[in-house]
Amino acid sequence: MTRVRTRTLLIAGAVLALILAGFVSYYASQSPDGLEKVSADKGIDAKEQDHQLKDGPLADYNVKGVHNERLSGGLAGVIGVAATLVVGTGVFRLVRRRPSDAAPARPAHDAVDSGSGG
């Protein structure tokens, strides 16, 4: 069986996520999801208000200033995935375990003397 390197797997996953966000997301349903539908059916959304970022550069899953709907949605998806990858990688690098500088790592084959002499 062929072994896949971790870096290769991560890069392939990132490329696949970018492709899905950039191209396949255009074909996602435009219908409201279940929560939106239920809130509309039950009148819960009557007090709905616009949020502060409604005019932001990526509002409504589109890139502001790009008039082609397909390109705009794809770019927004790619930007979102890229931002998530950058932030996630940064957090991972901050919290990952590092070997302690104070105590050098001992090789696994070193046995601890139990104190019992022969």
pLDDT profile of the chain (118 residues), mean per 10: 84 92 81 84 86 85 89 91 92 83 59 54
Give the global pTM: 0.64
Domain residues of the chain, as ranges?
54-96
18 close to 78: Cβ distance less than 8 angstroms: yes
- The residue type of 19 is I
Quick one: angle between helices 6-22 and 69-95, nearest 10? 150
Tokens of 49: 């208000």
The pLDDT assigned to 4 comes to 78
The pLDDT assigned to 115 comes to 54
Give the residue among 84, 66, 61 at the shortest CA–CA distance from 13. 84
Tokens of 54: 């409604």
The pLDDT assigned to 86 comes to 93
